[in-house]
Amino acid sequence: MFWPVVALAAAQSWGSLLAGIRYWNYVRERLRVNPPPYHPPAAVIVPCRGVDPELHENIRALRQQEYPEYEVIFVLESRSDPAYAVIREVVEREPGAPVTVLEAGRASDCGQKVHNLLIALEHLEARPSETRPEVYAFTDSDALRDRHWLRHLVAPLRVLDVGATTGYRWYIPTGGLASLLRSLWNAPIATALGPHPHNFAWGGSMALRRETADRIRLREYWRGSVSDDYRLTEAIRRAGGSVVFVPQCLLPSLGECSLREVLEFTTRQIVITRRYALHLWVLLTLSTSLFLVAFFWSGARAIAQFVSRGEATEPTLAFLSVYIPGVLKAMVRTHAVERLLTAYREQLRPYRMAYWFLYPLASVLFFYNCMVAAFSRRISWRGIRYELRAPNRTIVLP
């Protein structure tokens, strides 16, 4: 079984490298083209809970977008949330786009984030039709963005009758092993997006037209859910639309974390994936298992042959055929990300070697996440515990 396993894993690895090259070509093409002049009135909706690192700067950036007509709507559970004082301070001291702060109350049958988003949509839909924004943009409070983020995110909607645009997140390591592991884990997901019809929306940076939200019955899809982005993606696809990835909307995220926080975060993401996109969880479980079996099996055989002074050529070649494509893809990926996040190039550069050669650590973590997700439907998110019974049925635990 050794060589069939290695052959399958090598084919998978080389295929993944080709996908990485396509991602890089797509990034280069998009960077050469200026976004079309499409900037209708927009509402940027930001669910908040607690004070994230760099929250002051994030609020400033949201209010100082180079976009002609937009508003920012912050939604909190209540004004007792410490984020409210930060929002108020920035709004009172600095000029920028108009801001509305909404109190959503505690969620009872869905995720708090989704509940906040639903309250924001209800607020907008209660306005007279002529005063409603034409575009809804959604973003997270803990992601940094430049002044052009909204313009880039909205521009492709000019030709998307039924569809959405999305960016993604890139974690900037801050020196600790846990923050590096989080970034290694997140990296392959970022480059899974690209010029293909299988993109998924990411709730930290996504947008769609108001008429599209109405047509796909977005509020109905969100009711009872803990996931805003998976449900939006499903609604778009069922309506025959697509999700377009905008490389310029790859957002950096900073902040220290502990190993416990990394395990909680990564496992939560995969538990949600299993409940909302079972096929992706199955694919991730199988592909990760195949890679790890081939990687450790061939590596162990090569080491055993070296130790016993036997013929180690074949197991070494087997190991390299599985490992090297991942190194090459990581090189392509880091080159693309450094082109996109130019302001953070110096912070990313010291971690190049780690991104290139330590990527199997992310596979080990993915495998752990998949195994936990196979037997668990409970998650903890920003201090609130949930049980995911079904895509449209969430239990808020005491």
Residue 27 lies in a domain: no
Q: Tens digit of pLDDT for each residue in 209-243? A: 999 999 999 999 999 999 999 999 999 999 999 99
Same domain, 236 and 381: no
Q: Report the pLDDT value the prediction gives residue 280, as an integer from 0 to 100.
A: 96
Mean pLDDT of 127-137: 94
268 in a structural domain: no
46, 141 Cβ separation under 8 angstroms: yes
Residues 255 and 362 in one domain: no
* One domain for residues 183 and 147: yes
Whether residue 74 is found in the same domain as residue 138: yes
Q: Within this chain, do residues 249 and 339 fall inside the same structural domain, yes or no? A: no
Q: Output b/e per residue, 284-317; b: 16+ Cβ within 10 A.
A: bbebbbbbbbbbebbbebbeebeeeeeebeebbe
Q: How far apart are CA 217 and CA 121, in angstroms?
A: 12
Given this model, what pLDDT does residue 143 score? 86
274-321 per-position pLDDT tens digit: 999 999 999 999 999 999 999 999 999 999 999 988 888 999 999 999
Helix locations, 216-358, DSSP H: 218-222, 228-238, 259-276, 278-307, 313-340, 345-348, 352-357
104: containing domain: 34-262
Residue 273 counted as domain residue: no
Residue 12 has pLDDT above 80, yes or no: yes
Same domain, 241 and 185: yes
- When pLDDT is cut at 50, 70 and 90, the band that residue 139 belongs to is very high
User: Which of residues 229, 262, 295 is at a domain's end?
Assistant: 262
- Residue 235 shares a structural domain with residue 142: yes
Helix (H) or strand (E) holding 308: none
* pLDDT at residue 54, rounded to an integer: 85
In a domain, 274, yes or no: no
Last residue of a domain, one of 262, 288, 310: 262
Q: Are residues 348 and 245 in the same domain?
A: no
Whether 267 is covered by a domain: the verdict is no
**Could you identify the residue written with the tokens 């197991």?**
315
CB 333 within 8 A of CB 355: yes
Identify the pLDDT of residue 152.
97
Task: Work out the average pLDDT over 60-76.
Answer: 97
Q: Find the helix packing angle between 82-93 and 55-63, rounded to 10°.
A: 50
Read off the pLDDT of each residue in 100-115 and give the average, rounded to a whole number: 97
Domain count, the chain: 2
Query: Is position 269 within any domain?
Result: no
- Region of 81 (left: φ > 0; alpha: ψ -120 to 50; beta: rest) is beta
- Choosing from 208, 231, 262, the residue where a domain stops is 262
Same domain, 51 and 191: yes
Residues 217 and 357 in one domain: no
Look up residue 113 and give its amino acid: K
Average pLDDT rounded to a whole number, residues 351-358 = 97
Q: Let me know whether 212 and 93 are in one domain.
A: yes
Indicate the average pLDDT of the chain: 95
The answer to whether 352 and 39 have CB atoms below 8 angstroms apart is no
pTM: 0.95
- pLDDT above 80 for 370: yes
Same domain, 237 and 291: no
Structural domain contains residue 272: no
CATH number at residue 145: 3.90.550.10
